[in-house]
Chain A
Amino acid sequence: MERDMTVKSIPLAATSSGARKATDLAAALTNWRVLLSIAALCLLPWVLPSKALAVNVLVYGVLAMGYNLLFGYTGLLSFGHAAFFGAGAYVTGIAIGQFGVPWYGAVLLGVIGGGLLALAIGALSIRTRGIYFSMVTLALAQLVYHVALQASSWTGGENGLRGFTVAKIDIAGFSINFLDPVSKYYVLMVFAALALWFVSRILNSPFGAAIEAIRENETRARTCGYDVERTKLISFVLSGLICALAGTMSALHLAFVPLDVLHYQTSGMIVMMTLLGGASSFFGPFVGALAFLLMEDVFSLWTSHWQIIVGSIFILFVLFLPKGIWGTFLARVVR
């Protein structure tokens, strides 16, 4: 009853000036986001300093995009996504190198393997809330790291997994030289395009609306009838699947899986890329991957202390540009 007295008067009219109406450009960017993204990625190898860097942007872009599904769109800050990236890479490498599985089968197995790991880690960690979730995913992913280190007969342990170079890819009678950087880029580009389409598919779907609702207001979403835990778990697994795809791409690209892919610093790097580019924007993760890798490349050319620059830039983004490069661009320029 005191409540009525303490509340300040509230203007009745809606502040329509603050309301944001989508312009035609923004609408076009959203409707054509998959094709526009693919077009942009097609140009990448010709504007970047090296083809290997371009492939890395593809790999880490897909990785950050998968992560963004969970972080940007579902609102869960996982610090353990290196586990799924690594699982995809390891399963692919082991399938090719130790079981002689053809590359396409190995990619499929890698994605499934990463998805299963995501199901296990997700089932354990979804039960926890908020900051706790971040720490639990981090610790469980470190468990995976140490298991991979110990299981060296499968993973190569600290030495890394090797001996599965894919030199050529045969599709429908065509033989593509996979050692040629340009051919490799465009083959992996197909995977990236698939991932782009898949994520766009999810975001357009009713499920995409559900995870956004959970990010916006978990309590409300639950009251509306969403099984929040189950929805989060599905999102976690979908995110894990895409990150695992990035892992298989990385394995095919480098023909080597370093143990470091599972380390928590890889998870941290994914978070940094996603945030730099812009969490909860569709193309942001690719922009973030590009920005991060370019910074690393350029700064590490002229100082071995490049991490102090990258770290500082990241801090500035957290403080002043939480929407990231692409997110800010969309908000300021396009709107």
Chain B
Amino acid sequence: MNDAIRNLGQRKISRRAALAGLGAGASFLAMPWVARAADDTIRIGFPTPLTGPYAAEAKDQVKSAELAIKLVNDKGGIGGRKVELLVRDGKLNGGEAATRTLELIEKDKVHAVVGALSSAVQLAVNEVTRARGVIYISISQSDTINEKKDSSKYTFHEAMNPHMTTAAVARHAFKKGNKVAHLVADYAYGHEMLRGFKRAQAAIGAETVGELLHPIGAPDYSTLMPRLRAMKPDILCISNFGRDQANSIKQAVDFGMKQQMKIVVPVLLHNQRLAVGPEVFEGVVGGANYYWELESKLPSAKTFNDAFRAANGGAIPTDYGAYGFTGVSSLLLAMQAAGGTDTEKVVAALEGLKYDVAKGAQHYRKCDHQSVQSVLVLESKKKADMKGANDFFNIVENEAPSEDVLRSCKELGFPA
């Protein structure tokens, strides 16, 4: 099974390899029918969207999650028990991911679930795990999962949330008196980012000159550009994700906006920068959970990068890839502290855990189980300044972890 998943991890599968896979298919065909033998292996379910537009991110997540498992197994596992990662394709669809999670719990009897990339899939997985009292560590960026309504004793959020990201980016990019225009994807995640930016603006004293919502998944932003330009902002904040980010930044640049204003995004995505190229992204500022260059300052990042390079032929871990590592590592550390897989004990251990596995000190806040962590602010490099194929960004800020940048427990609906 793990071999199969490692195959998935390779970027490209040649047709010949796929055909060879077909030949070996008989054994795989039989796989799902084989009842899992009752052994003492610790099983961690890992739903992630291997199919669809975020497959590259998902594969990075799988690689670094497997690395976390390997490092623990190399040291003898947890209390002598081997750990196994069960990767399932959630296909970027909440229904699929929920089904796969049900299978992981009901059939594979996993001890915990880590994963998800999109906000919707994370919430779908959470709906399944919390009803069944299974630990779930989400690695999808979202504010929603922090709120009382969607929280549970068993739900932890290892990824950053838009609130903390936008706060860090705004503190770096906004000055008092700046005029800010917002282009926002019209869905929960977009609105969460907008809310974060506007709060930070209020504290800094930057003024909003206008906000335009766009339909999610829109391929064309040309009809919005004249209005954005007419607002005459100093800063254009583009709060959307993935392909939308790539398309909207590209078209803003085409319309000559970058000459007039600075472009700021909540999260600067490694794979979108790759897809659109350095010319378009040049000078764009945004947040990130992880950037490999951190290794020059941080020993834990160096250790993580080196291990990742060793396991993946010299490749570097990306932003979303790192979530796979930090998310799974935090769970494994807690299991180690709890001396096994007893859910209540592991939950208690997670709540008390302090860890630094890749990006500095982290811990889970008590009320909403949000991982308090550092936030990087990056600026995309000019092509001429790039020192290597992966040298995309300058780290312009590394905001230290602090509960103060989070929404208060009271605001989220938890008793103070």
Contact = CB atoms under 8 A, between A and B. Distances in A.
Direct contact of A and B (CB under 8 A): yes
Contact of B106 (A50, A159, A259, A307): A50
A52 B99 contact: yes
Contacts of B55: 304
A256 B132 contact: no
Given A158-B187, A167-B131, A250-B95, A303 B13 contact: yes
A158 B132 CA distance: 24
A261 B127 contact: no
Given A159-B144, A165-B131, A305 B95 contact: no
A162 interface: yes
Interface in B73-129: 89, 91, 93-95, 98-99, 102-103, 106-107, 119-121, 123-124, 126-128
Nearest to B102: A52
Interface residues of B, number: 48
A255 interface: yes
Contacts of A152: 187-188
Interface string B181-216: 000001111000000000000000000000000011
Contacts of A162: 123-124, 126-127, 150
Contacts of A307: 51
B18 A305 contact: yes
B314 interface: no
Given A160-B94, A256-B128, A149 B51 contact: no
Contact of A306 (B29, B51, B93): B51
B72 interface: no
Contacts of B59: 304
Contact of B123 (A250, A256, A304): A256
A250 B91 CA distance: 17
B215 A157 contact: no
A301 interface: yes
B405 interface: no
B32 interface: yes
Contacts of B107: 49-52
B95 A260 contact: yes
A298 interface: yes
A179 B132 contact: yes
Contacts of B120: 158-160, 258-259
A117 B50 CA distance: 34
B13 A258 contact: no
Contacts of A179: 131-132
Interface residues of A, number: 40
A194 interface: no
B125 to A, nearest CB: 9
Contacts of B94: 160, 254, 256-260
A307 B92 CA distance: 14
A313 B123 CA distance: 33
Given A50-B107, A52-B103, A152-B188, A256 B150 contact: no
A163 interface: yes
B124 A254 contact: yes
A216 interface: no
Nearest to B106: A181
A165 B123 CA distance: 13
Most buried by B among A150, A159, A256: A159
B409 to A, nearest CB: 20
A32 interface: no
B8 interface: yes
Interface string B368-412: 000000000000000000000000000000000000000000000
B56 to A, nearest CB: 10
Interface string A242-269: 0000000010001111111100000000
B98 A256 contact: yes
Contacts of A149: 186-187, 215-216
B150 to A, nearest CB: 7
A162 B50 CA distance: 24
A160 B8 contact: no
A31 interface: no
A300 interface: yes
Contacts of A297: 32
Contacts of B255: none
Contacts of A301: 1, 4, 28, 31-32
Contacts of B89: 300, 304
A48 to B, nearest CB: 8
B5 to A, nearest CB: 9
A156 B7 CA distance: 36
A158 B33 contact: no
Most buried by A among B24, B94, B132: B94
A221 interface: no
B95 A258 contact: yes
Contacts of B21: 302-303
Given A152-B187, A302-B28, A256 B99 contact: no
B177 interface: no
A303 B187 contact: no
A159 B119 contact: yes
B188 A159 contact: yes
A53 interface: yes
Given A52-B103, A302-B28, A150 B13 contact: no
Contacts of B29: 298
Interface string A268-295: 0000000000000000000000000000
B188 A158 contact: yes
B290 to A, nearest CB: 24
B149 A163 contact: yes
Given A49-B33, A254-B127, 14 more contacts: A50-B102, A152-B187, A152-B188, A158-B120, A162-B126, A163-B127, A163-B150, A256-B98, A300-B89, A300-B91, A301-B1, A301-B31, A303-B18, A307-B51
27 contacts: A49-B33, A50-B103, A50-B106, A51-B102, A149-B187, A149-B215, A156-B188, A158-B216, A160-B124, A162-B124, A163-B149, A179-B131, A254-B98, A257-B94, A258-B93, A258-B120, A258-B121, A259-B94, A260-B95, A298-B29, A300-B91, A301-B32, A302-B7, A304-B8, A304-B51, A306-B51, A307-B51
Interface of B: 1, 4, 7-8, 13, 18, 21, 24-25, 28-29, 31-33, 50-51, 55, 59, 89, 91, 93-95, 98-99, 102-103, 106-107, 119-121, 123-124, 126-128, 131-132, 144, 149-150, 186-189, 215-216
Nearest 4 A-B pairs (CB), nearest first?
A258-B94, A49-B32, A52-B102, A158-B187
